[in-house]
A and B are shown apart, each in its own frame.
Chain A
Amino acid sequence: MKIVRKVKVKNSLGLHTRPAASIVKLLQPRKSAVQFTHKHETINARSIMSILMLAARKNTVIEISVEGDDAELTMQHLVDAFESEFGEK
Chain B
Amino acid sequence: MPTGSKEIILRGLPISKGIGIGCPVFFASMDDQVPEVSIPKKEVEQEIDRYRRALDLSRKDVESLQRLSIHEGPAEIVSILGTHLEMMQDPLLTSVIEEKIREMERNIESIFCHIIEEYKVRFSSLQDHYFQERVRDIVDVSRRILGHLRPLERVRMEEMPHNSIILTHELVPSETVEANASLISAFVTAAGGITSHAAIIARAKGIPYVTNIDIKELKSHEVHSLIVDGSQGIIVLNPTRETLKKYQEIQRTHQMSYKLLKDASFLKGETIDGYEVRISANLENPKEMGEIIKAGACGVGLFRSEYLFLSRKAFPSEEEQFHIYKQMAEELKGKPLVVRVFDVGGDKTVDLQPDNEDAKYFSSIGHEANPALGCRAIRFLLRYPNLLDDQLRAIIRASQYGEIHILIPMLSDISELRVVRKKVLEIQEQLRSQNIPIADHMPIGCMIEVPSSAIMCDAISEEVDFISIGTNDLVQYVLAADRSNSHTAELYFSTHPSILRLIRMVVSSANKARKPVILCGECAADPAMIPLLIGLGIREFSVAARHIPLVKHTIRKWRILEACRLAEGALEYPSAQELKEFLAEETVKY
A residues at B contact (CB < 8 Å): 13-14, 16-18, 21, 24, 44, 46-50, 52-53, 55, 57, 84, 87-89
Contact = CB atoms under 8 A, between A and B. Distances in A.
A49 B83 contact: no
B130 A49 contact: no
A89 B351 contact: yes
A18 to B, nearest CB: 8
> Which 10 pairs between the two chains have the least Cβ-Cβ distance?
A55-B131, A55-B126, A48-B86, A17-B83, A55-B128, A47-B91, A21-B86, A49-B92, A47-B90, A49-B90
B351 A49 contact: no
Contact of B83 (A21, A46, A84): A21
5 contacts: A16-B131, A44-B91, A47-B91, A84-B353, A87-B351
Contacts of B131: 14, 16, 52-53, 55
B119 interface: yes
Contacts of A49: 87, 90, 92-93, 119, 138
Chain B interface size, as a band, is: 20 to 34
A53 B123 contact: yes
B486 interface: no
Given A24-B86, A49-B119, A87-B353, 19 more contacts: A13-B130, A14-B128, A14-B131, A16-B130, A17-B83, A17-B137, A21-B83, A48-B86, A48-B90, A49-B90, A49-B92, A49-B138, A52-B123, A53-B122, A53-B123, A53-B126, A53-B131, A55-B128, A55-B131
B385 interface: no
B85 to A, nearest CB: 9
A10 to B, nearest CB: 13
Contact of B134 (A47, A50, A52): A52
A21 B90 CA distance: 10
A46 B82 contact: no
B128 A48 contact: no
B252 to A, nearest CB: 40
Contacts of A16: 130-131
Contact of A46 (B79, B91, B119, B351): B91
Nearest to B354: A84
Q: Taking each of A13, A17, A49, which has the highest tally of chain B beta carbons within 10 Å of its own beta carbon?
A: A49
B123 to A, nearest CB: 7
B415 to A, nearest CB: 35
Contacts of B138: 49
A9 to B, nearest CB: 12
Contacts of A14: 128, 130-131
B124 to A, nearest CB: 11
A25 to B, nearest CB: 8
Given A16-B131, A52-B131, A87-B351, A47 B92 contact: yes
B92 A21 contact: no
Contacts of A24: 86, 90
Nearest to B137: A17
B127 interface: yes
Contacts of A89: 351
Contacts of B130: 13-14, 16
Nearest to B131: A55
A89 B544 CA distance: 28
A17 to B, nearest CB: 5
A74 B540 CA distance: 57
Nearest to B122: A53
A57 B126 CA distance: 11
Contacts of B90: 24, 47-50
Contacts of A46: 91
Given A21-B83, A49-B87, A88 B128 contact: no
Contact of B128 (A18, A44, A57, A84): A57
Interface in B109-129: 119, 122-123, 126-128
Contacts of B122: 53
Contact of A55 (B86, B91, B127): B127
A15 to B, nearest CB: 9
